[in-house]
Structure 1
Amino acid sequence: MPTNDILRERVAQRLYKELETLAEYAANQQPIASRANADEPADSTQPSDNEVYRQYILALANAVLMASPALFDAHALQVSQQQGRQATIEQIAAVRKAVLLRLSVGEYVVVASTLSAATIALTAAAEPEPVSSEHDEPSAGVGRFDGITKKYLSLLLASNRVGAQRLVLEEAESGTDVRDLYLHVLQPAQREVGNLWHSSTITVAQEHYCTAATASLMAQLQPYFQRTPRNGHRLLAACVAGDLHTLGLQMVADFLEYEGWEVCYLGASTPLDSIRRMAAEQGVDLLLTAASMPHHVPLLSELVAALRRDAITRHVKVLVGGRPFAQDAALWESTGADAWASNAEEAVAVVQGLFAQEKKPAQASSAITA
């Protein structure tokens, strides 16, 4: 392992180990609660100062370990949506003081550039542009489903799960391709739910309600997928331990099943060794996995390394996805994966490319049936 990689790993492990101490010191340097109006009652739903700084240190450790300053940038920008840009810059300064106190000069140099990059990104960040306007030209597919998406999301936020699901099921019953409903209704709606949660517009309970309703709807949509001849390939889909966000993974698995793949779906929070053993036992050709948060990315790296060490699973292609990989376009390569995709439609194209030269003889054609 190169010297720089060894140093990065050592610094990251120290940040993980001293997480609580560093968070407490940073909180003492720059209390977050002190900005609140003293005449207003404390909001018990807001995280404590220590927890806010704990998330900063965790994001910093992940960014250092993966050599990806963009991961910390993304965390800081997310916090700034709730705390404000200037407050976030001050909080990063408090983190800087904490690590400067605890780390050696050489170790501090490793993290300083990441902290500085985040501060620069926050300083330079422009106000978010509106998603669309009356003069915008809708992209293909979006205009057709825009009204359905808005109504679906509105019904979910009003806790009307039955109405929201019925809206989409009626589209499927009328002959609308389920893949279009996934891509242009469910996916953008869930993305907006995530944005609303990140900005504290909705609660964790509301986010869970919307996500559970969408997961239930996806199960109800299964009968509307067209049957497709099998292509002779098998895939395993699983999230690593601690990752409970499976909707994106399920969408990709469903799209590939439509394309003729045999799917073994394990779902959320699966131990690394269980994934590796199942891949070997099932004789899979492809592993689908994802990271919903930056701290899941190192686990993906461990998973890929474990597959590569085992002669039985060494051949397995690995496709990754998730928000951290969208935040850093080069991050997927550092995990050792074979490719990444940002959505289910893109994943199908990427997988077709990965297996273009590996068509198995004596298998049914993968062409879509009429």
Structure 2
Amino acid sequence: MKEKLEQQRTAQALYGQANDLTASAVSHYHRLVVSATLVDGSVEESQLRAELKSHLLVLADTILMQSAALFEVHLTHVRQQQPSPARDQELASQLDALKQVLSQRLPIMEYIQVAGYLNGALAQLQQPIAEADAPAEAAAPDAPLARLMASYLSLLLAGKSAQAIELVVEKARRGTDVGDLYEQVLLPAQSEVGQRWHRGELNVAQEHYCTAAAEQAIASLRQYRKPAPATGHRFLATTLAGDLHVLPVRVVAELLEADGWTPFYLGGNMPLASVWQAAVDYQVDLLVLGASMSHHVGSVRDLLAARPYVQAATQVRVLVGGPPFNADPDLWRVVGADACAPNARAAVEAARQLVGQP
């Protein structure tokens, strides 16, 4: 109990002083990196400030939830945006700057705890970005539909979305399972689009174009699903405020609907205050939440912490998923969920178990 209170106190100190700590870390960073603006791959001042604050807030979540994997996922995501030794060196300097500031601001026992996570992150930067760090939706080269995924993506990037969608739909016409097309074509392609956008290889318009095409493809594939009889169960699916990466949650919603559930898919970026109200209004049995990045997990935790105080929602089961939960197999319990699933098909099985459906 004492240890948990100390963790909460440390995390609250980081949350509450985030702006001040970030400003100090910027100053320390410039002392560490001479002529930082001349370093290949270095960031602008505003981006530096944003990145340091992001590190700090995810660090606070990491401490509060005792999940080293949470910070590891965050750091991997940042590294993938601009992979290079120079960028890793720059990130190491950012983390060293944070260590220096926190060593001066936190009591020694609290700092020791924080330093442990930051030292782990610094060690991570000494290693290449491993294949295991690739997004869960990334296609395996030997996946049965890998060639189709590559062709679909090539057409999208060439500005031929209608042809790309038709390529996928034609496979469904010929009997390929729609769930396989979701998980082996659309999601991996969108994951690759996201990675290329983060690396600066695609602009915002191109990323939105590809996302819109994926949404259209999902809509076009609906007629080829093989729906199960209605179960009488109802679900609500969404991501929370700030999380715009909704395609994986949309796929889970499609598969649950095909499994006989009544759907209430809200899209993404939902304000926390609206989620439980919607769950009550729609009288759902299950709430499906996605978290695409480490800094979204805190919102999931905050939402679920309110569940006991929403009288009509106490019986609603909660299923979570996303890269942070895949990285830490115990994180779903920490945030207060009832189950976690690593992918869309597993989400359907987990949902059945939560409501006692065979």
TM class by shorter chain equals: 0.7 to 0.9
**2:184 alignment partner, SS class:** helix
What residue in structure 1 maps to residue 76 of structure 2? Answer: 77
**Equivalent pair of 2:99/2:118 in contact (CA under 8 Å):** yes
**Equivalent pair of 1:78/1:198 in contact (CA under 8 Å):** no
Report Cα offsets for 1:319-363 as digits up to 9, x if no partner: 00111111222111101111111111111122222233x57xxxx
Q: 1:79 to 1:43 in 2, by over 3 A?
A: closer
What residue in structure 2 maps to residue 58 of structure 1? Answer: 57
What residue in structure 2 maps to residue 23 of structure 1? Answer: 22
Runs of 5+ unmatched residues, structure 1:
132-136, 360-370
What residue in structure 2 maps to residue 296 of structure 1? Answer: 296
Query: Normalized per residue, which structure has more helix?
Result: 2
Number of residue-to-residue matches in the alignment: 346
**Equivalent pair of 2:73/2:323 in contact (CA under 8 Å):** no
Read off the aligned partner of 2:71 and give its amino acid letter: F
Tell me the distance in 1 between the aligned counterparts of 2:175 and 2:121: 47
Tell me the distance in 2 between the aligned counterparts of 1:107 and 1:254: 45
Higher deviation after alignment, 202-211 or 214-223: 202-211
**1:84 alignment partner, SS class:** helix
Read off the aligned partner of 1:333 and give its amino acid letter: R
Tell me the distance in 1 between the aligned counterparts of 2:327 and 2:155: 30
What residue in structure 2 maps to residue 11 of structure 1? Answer: 10
**2:227 alignment partner, SS class:** coil
**Equivalent pair of 1:291/1:321 in contact (CA under 8 Å):** yes
Q: 1:159 to 1:8 in 2, by over 3 A?
A: farther
Tell me the distance in 1 between the aligned counterparts of 2:52 and 2:226: 49
- Normalization by structure 2: what TM-score? 0.87
Q: 1:117 to 1:41 in 2, by over 3 A?
A: closer
Alignment equivalent of 1:128, drawn from 122, 130, 133? 130
What residue in structure 1 maps to residue 122 of structure 2? Answer: 119
What residue in structure 1 maps to residue 226 of structure 2? Answer: 226
Runs of 5+ unmatched residues, structure 2:
135-139
Q: 1:213 to 1:35 in 2, by over 3 A?
A: farther
**Equivalent pair of 2:74/2:293 in contact (CA under 8 Å):** no
Tell me the distance in 1 between the aligned counterparts of 2:297 and 2:216: 27
**Equivalent pair of 1:182/1:251 in contact (CA under 8 Å):** yes
Q: Identity over aligned residues, as a percent? A: 39
Tell me the distance in 2 between the aligned counterparts of 1:338 and 1:308: 13
Deviation at 1:129, TM superposition (A): 5.0
- Normalization by structure 1: what TM-score? 0.84
Report Cα offsets for 1:8-31 as digits up to 9, x if no partner: 222222222322222222222224
Deviation at 1:5, TM superposition (A): 2.3
**2:266 alignment partner, SS class:** strand
Tell me the distance in 1 between the aligned counterparts of 2:41 and 2:14: 34
What residue in structure 2 maps to residue 246 of structure 1? Answer: 246
**2:319 alignment partner, SS class:** strand
Deviation at 1:33, TM superposition (A): 9.6
Read off the aligned partner of 1:128 and give its amino acid letter: A
What residue in structure 1 maps to residue 137 of structure 2? Answer: none
**2:353 alignment partner, SS class:** helix
Tell me the distance in 2 between the aligned counterparts of 1:58 and 1:201: 28
What residue in structure 2 maps to residue 313 of structure 1? Answer: 313
**Equivalent pair of 2:36/2:42 in contact (CA under 8 Å):** no
Tell me the distance in 2 between the aligned counterparts of 1:10 and 1:213: 46
**Equivalent pair of 2:172/2:178 in contact (CA under 8 Å):** yes
**1:268 alignment partner, SS class:** coil
**2:267 alignment partner, SS class:** strand
Report Cα offsets for 1:288-315 as digits up to 9, x if no partner: 0111122221221222232233342212
